[in-house]
Amino acid sequence: MEGAQAVREALAHGVVHELFVTDEAAARHPDLLDGPDRVTVVDARAAASLSDTVTPQGIVAVCALLDVPVADALRGAPRLVAVCAGVTDPGNAGTIVRVADAAGADAVLLAGDTVDPHNGKAVRASTGSVFHLPLARDRDATAVLDACRAAGLTLLVADGHGELDLLDPVADPVLAGPVAWIFGGEAHGVPEAVAAAADHRVRVPIPGRAESLNLATAAAVCLYASVAAARRRA
């Protein structure tokens, strides 16, 4: 974890093993020095070598991994879950975690050949949301889908050519129920086998001239459509 705010979130969730900090960062953020078991003061050059950002803030934490088994992430009675299937861009993955957190989702699952949620860029893009809801990953995408079904979730694939229109009132009963939204990579979409296994393929209508929506924007539209549909039917 890099940066004061990200480290503060990590400390609040008790996952920091060690903190590396420059004298300047320590002076700016003395509150962060009491939580870790071990604090190591380093110079700016060493801090930069630990960082993968263009402008390091001089504070880096080594943290425990955050992901849990899929069954644990789906424990209870989840009503809204985001599934990343074949999402390889860490910025998109992290932003989907952030959007899912904002929409009140119960978990984010990473299925198949999807980027590691602990990737530095993914963690930064989540702006702390990686700590707010369960994350789980499994290279076996079929197993993830089966687990979602076993948890009572209807599987919805975001697909620009889907048979169900997101804005059609006919879609409301589907959107409002317990659902797992499945999002694919920016370039190739949801893997074909995953899309075929879903219960519905849902398209976001584009009445304007844009060729498409980017992945994180489409995820936000779809997740909030479920939130809105559930509220209308409450």
If asked whether residues 176 and 124 sit together in one domain, one would say yes
Range scoring the smallest mean pLDDT among 75-79, 101-105, 117-121, 218-222: 117-121
If asked whether residues 146 and 212 sit together in one domain, one would say yes
Residue 140's pLDDT band (boundaries 50, 70, 90)? very high
Query: 107 - beta bridge partners?
Result: 81
If asked whether residues 90 and 131 sit together in one domain, one would say yes
Domain that holds residue 26: 4-63
pLDDT at 71 over 80: yes
pLDDT per residue as tens digits for the range 3-55: 888 898 899 999 999 999 999 999 999 999 987 889 999 999 998 898 888 78
Domain boundary among 31, 63, 95: 63
If asked whether residues 97 and 140 sit together in one domain, one would say yes
pLDDT at 233 over 90: no
If asked whether residues 33 and 83 sit together in one domain, one would say no
If asked whether residues 80 and 33 sit together in one domain, one would say no
**Given this model, what pLDDT does residue 212 score?**
85
Domain boundary among 32, 63, 94: 63
If asked whether residues 207 and 102 sit together in one domain, one would say yes
pLDDT at 137 over 80: yes
Range scoring the smallest mean pLDDT among 49-53, 62-66, 91-95: 49-53
Q: What is the domain count for the chain?
A: 2
pLDDT at 108 over 90: yes
**Given this model, what pLDDT does residue 219 score?**
96
pLDDT at 178 over 80: yes
If asked whether residues 48 and 153 sit together in one domain, one would say no
Domain boundary among 12, 44, 63: 63
If asked whether residues 103 and 163 sit together in one domain, one would say yes
CATH of the domain at 111: 3.40.1280.10
If asked whether residues 88 and 55 sit together in one domain, one would say no
When pLDDT is averaged across residues 74-103 and rounded to a whole number, the result is 96
If asked whether residues 131 and 220 sit together in one domain, one would say yes
pLDDT per residue as tens digits for the range 154-166: 999 988 888 999 9
If asked whether residues 97 and 181 sit together in one domain, one would say yes
**Given this model, what pLDDT does residue 131 score?**
92
